[in-house]
Amino acid sequence: MTDPRKDYAFTARDTWATTHDEQMYSGALSFCRRKLTRDPAGLDVAVMGVPFDTSVTNRPGTRFGPRGVRAASSQLAWSRAWPSAFDPFERLSVGDWGDIYIDAGHPQDVPDHIEATIAGVLAEVPRVLLIGGDHFTTYPSLKAHVAKHGPLGMIQFDAHTDTWKDDGKRIDHGTMFYHAVKEGIIDPARSIQVGIRTTNDDPMGIEIRDAITVHETPLADTIAAIKARVGDRPCYVTFDIDALDPSCAPGTGTPVVGGLTTHQAMTILRGLAGINIVGGDVVEVSPAYDVAEITSLAGATVALQLLCLYAEAPA
């Protein structure tokens, strides 16, 4: 018998609707089967896709990342986010805002447009969760968040530092945090990069906890180092999916061997409960290079864990 209540992405009366009884393999592409809405009334979190990959330096395709992550996230919507003791969708009103429109014909205008769109939503919704897109998209997102919260600490999961210098005119997914530090957008003294396994001799004051350190020390030490670095002040969490080893996330543009396992990443993220997270994103999922959607599923699971961190953040 057809149930007229489904598909919840369209038919839910509000963003608190329970979706555990929906089929995982059908329906609209919304994050974790949440209601598709651009009405800010009552929303705690707006999930926004950023389908942009013009700044990649290797394999393109992350413009399809938001769609891939949303599709994989349907597998996570049928039950509470294990092993969390709570369902973030029972604590937070979460709606899927859809994607930011990207006009590829005017590439130089895109960063400002991304920033302005996110800032407009943040003016009416307490938090947004961004799904990229390549990692450059974090830069305009950070600028929009800083306009609301002031300079932020940053927790970056990544294979690359993304602090290489450029001529100041590039739209590049490997240089944007160089500019973020120079412009005072992020405070390097309250920022840390986890999982790094490429060479950059100038960390610009950001603490680096590289992949070897994560592998060779207890995960509790990494969690403690992150918490000590960011303290209790507002921070932003950005998760480049290439922080994971290519065996766990092949679908990305610049894979680097020797990375974190999904178990390590999830354990670290869960250990950050209680940090003062005001924004976050998952970036660099490139479905065309994926195998059996394992990268998209990893990205969706990271995004869901970020929602759990939102739910546990200080009011």
Cβ-based neighbours of 6, under 8 Å, separated by 6 or more: 22, 23, 27
State the Cα–Cα distance between residues 60 and 35, nearest whole angstrom: 30
| Eight-class DSSP state of 307 | H
113: annotated binding-site residue? no
242: annotated binding-site residue? yes
202: annotated binding-site residue? no
Please calculate the CA angle 63-69-73 and round it to the nearest 5 degrees: 165
C-alpha dihedral (20, 93, 136, 237), degrees to nearest 10:
-90
Counting every residue, how long is the chain? 315
281: annotated binding-site residue? no
256 residue type, one letter? V
162: annotated binding-site residue? yes
Q: Which residues pair with 237 in a beta bridge?
A: 155, 280
| 284 backbone dihedrals φ, ψ, rounded to 5° | 70, 20
215: annotated binding-site residue? no
State the Cα–Cα distance between residues 31 and 253, nearest whole angstrom: 23
| Residue positions forming the annotated binding site | 135, 158, 160, 162, 240, 242
| Residue positions forming the annotated binding site for Mn(2+) | 135, 158, 160, 162, 240, 242
